[in-house]
Structure 1
Amino acid sequence: MPSAERGAGSALDIDLDPSLIFAKWTGVAGALLAVSGGPDSLALLLMATIWSRESGTRVFAATVDHGLRPEAAEEAAYVGEIGAALGVPHAVLTWRGPHPKTRIQELAREARYRLLSEHARDVGANVLMTAHHADDQAETILFRLLHGSGVAGLAGIREETQAYGLTLARPLLHLRKPELEQVCADNNVPFISDPSNKDSQYARTRMRELTALLEAEGLGPEQWRRFARRMAGADEVLRRAVSDARAHIAKETSTDSVRLDVQRLKRQPVDVIAGVVEAEITSFLASADSIRLDRLERSAQALREALDGGRIWKGTLAGAILNLDRSGSLTIAKEGPRQRGRGPRKGN
């Protein structure tokens, strides 16, 4: 366990320019930093402290203790010592209650963001900052590529998104992990090494090994960054096409269904049809299940083929029943309990 006795004083040594790194968020009501004690988040804390002093923007720090490792409480206390030395208020947020036996990483992430967002509101911060960096970006895109993500997923980690009623900011996306480790070293701030980062049972570890191999072949962070930028652009084009298509569709809404004149959609690409169907299901059924991309694409393809042939079609998707008649009218209604689990199917 590192000691906070050295470093993290009032005079910080930062070669990078925090005023540029955090410029986009200068003047916000307040920023809560998610700090685990690793090199990435400690570098975020060190650089954000300088930014706060120079800009007057209020910053806070918080560490989430998931209760999954016995040393987690001691690590959180260490981050608190660093925060105290820097003059940054720090809180330890604990994930309480019974923990699940399966999907532990996914559910721990959900709990982490829930706890952080609640604390951000408590301290008056409207921005939550995490220490995702360029190496995380490469690993994320590769993971999503291998698991069949669409263009939205392949855009990778966005610099800024809106969620949990907050702005989620990732100011370090253009920096590499060794640069962040150097920030800690230059300021005599030891960091904590998470042993799970070397455990190959976790997908993130395997992606890290793969990205290292790909970088040796010339596919490094700059190339991944360019790829993410292009995918984000493609996603924006698709979103606008979907929005335009929806704006030209006549719609009738009742308490238990929505009826759409989708005749025009037969001239649209399948991806646009899929986007329209997804948007309508999501807006109609607030509690809709997560829509799997492969099922959505199959439904959109079947819908377009039925429109082209002037045929009826019926399918189920994410808790909704979809009925297309020969006139090109699509009705979306909530699926009944006995029908759940059936996949989309073609009509006669």
Structure 2
Amino acid sequence: MSDDDNSPITARAGKQLFAGLRSAPGLVLAVSGGPDSVALMWLAARWRRGLARGPQLTVVTVDHGLRPEAAREAREVKGLATELGLTHRTLRWRGAKPDTGLPAAAREARYRLLNEAARKAGASHVLTAHTRDDQAETLLMRMLRGSGLAGLSAMARLTERDGIVLARPLLDVPKSQLVATLKRARIGFADDPTNRDTAFTRPRLRALLPQLAAEGGDSRSLARLAARLARANAAVEVLVDGAERFLQLRARGDAPQANGRSFEAEAFALLPEEVRLRLLLRTVNALGREGPAELGKVEALLAALDQAVNQVMAARPPAPANGRAILKQTLAGALISLAGGRIHITPAPARRFRGGS
């Protein structure tokens, strides 16, 4: 860790963190009360004071109803926000909580509530306090889950979510620097014990980071790896866009498919495997009725599709254009079939459920 990692963030450096947000109509700051989000609030307030004109800042604290201390922490955030001249709202995640998958459910609820608050405040962005340490942990979690290139790119600096832009201005900043900034400003913050609860995956990986750092795998190098993978992922997406246009040009003159898409099987087979996989994933997600498809299931579908296409290409004479389907599968609410030398993807028919006696 360099000396800069333990140094407070200067006013000049803080200005650069929010440079691209000056023209936004309003910003919602997600502040839980921990050091990262409190630092985000303090830095944003300092930046906004230095502007003659700028976005309206609204601080939002989400109380998940999971810890008795959360209500007190929300009040403390409100007190600090008021001192900084910022509007504050506390939103509560109400209703039953799941027995399994609690972190994911809480995260989904938090973003939903933050987006609702942004729309109500007329804000274009929600700002979260994800740091370089969080980026390194996210990369490790996704590596262990066997994620593809897109997943290993970890968190993006800007992500659109239901019409609101989710921004992470602190993604290159180490947590230690945020703590140093608060100490210099004599600003207190809460300590959430769930951040050390080894019942959850992220805290267990967090505990391993010092050992990884000793081998050269510190948060800086892991975040740099995520950035390089994100760069490669963006390049592959450009190739997929080009491949999609290529297949559309090949389909000119064919009868249009009313509620789906169709690719020439032999042209599809000429594309690199990763491009074929992403085209398939992109199309299934666009036409399916059951949410995003799992990568592993799309990989299995592509393998079956490749095998079927190879059989078609090896057949002499080739199958007639009106031949029966050689392959027919459903995935994530989409129907994928290979017939007449073409790959067809359409929304799957609605499932019919039989009532019991």
TM-score, normalising length from structure 2? 0.86
1:187 counterpart residue number: 185
3-state SS in 2 of match to 1:181: helix
1:331 is displaced (CA, Å) by 4.3
CA contact (8 A) 2:283 2:345 kept: no
1:234-273 to structure 2, matched below 5 A, reads 234-249=232-247, 250=251, 252-255=256-259, 257-273=260-276
Does residue 292 in structure 1 map to residue 290 in structure 2?
no
1:264 is displaced (CA, Å) by 0.5
Deviations 1:57-114 (A, max 9, x none): 2211110011111111111000000001110111101112232332221111111111
1:271 is displaced (CA, Å) by 1.4
3-state SS in 1 of match to 2:68: coil
1:298 partner letter: A
1:281 counterpart residue number: 284
CA contact (8 A) 2:17 2:170 kept: yes
Deviations 1:18-42 (A, max 9, x none): 1111112112111110000000001
Comparing 78-87 with 215-224, greater Cα deviation is found at 215-224
The 2-side partners of 1:99 and 1:63 are apart by 19
3-state SS in 1 of match to 2:50: helix
1:324 is displaced (CA, Å) by 0.7
CA contact (8 A) 2:265 2:341 kept: no
CA contact (8 A) 2:328 2:337 kept: yes
1:106 counterpart residue number: 104
Comparing 63-72 with 75-84, greater Cα deviation is found at 63-72
CA contact (8 A) 2:61 2:90 kept: yes
2:39 partner letter: A
Q: Which runs of 5+ in 2 are unaligned?
A: 1-7, 314-325
1:307 is displaced (CA, Å) by 1.7
Comparing 170-179 with 239-248, greater Cα deviation is found at 239-248
Deviations 1:156-209 (A, max 9, x none): 111111112111111111111111111111111111011111111111101112
1:124 counterpart residue number: 122
Does residue 36 in structure 1 map to residue 22 in structure 2?
no
3-state SS in 1 of match to 2:337: strand
Q: Structure 1 pair 108/78, CA: closer, same or farther in 2 (3 Å)?
A: same
Does residue 15 in structure 1 map to residue 10 in structure 2?
yes
Q: Structure 1 pair 323/113, CA: closer, same or farther in 2 (3 Å)?
A: same
The 2-side partners of 1:240 and 1:309 are apart by 30
Computed over aligned residues only, the root mean square deviation of the Cα atoms, in angstroms, reads 1.9
1:270 is displaced (CA, Å) by 1.8
Does residue 315 in structure 1 map to residue 329 in structure 2?
yes
The 2-side partners of 1:334 and 1:144 are apart by 30
Does residue 334 in structure 1 map to residue 348 in structure 2?
yes
The 1-side partners of 2:240 and 2:307 are apart by 19
1:49 counterpart residue number: 45
How many residue pairs match? The answer is 325
TM-score, normalising length from structure 1? 0.88
CA contact (8 A) 1:36 1:79 kept: yes
The 2-side partners of 1:306 and 1:238 are apart by 25
The 1-side partners of 2:273 and 2:155 are apart by 25
The 2-side partners of 1:23 and 1:176 are apart by 19
CA contact (8 A) 1:310 1:328 kept: no
CA contact (8 A) 2:285 2:292 kept: no
The 1-side partners of 2:308 and 2:105 are apart by 40
1:344 counterpart residue number: none
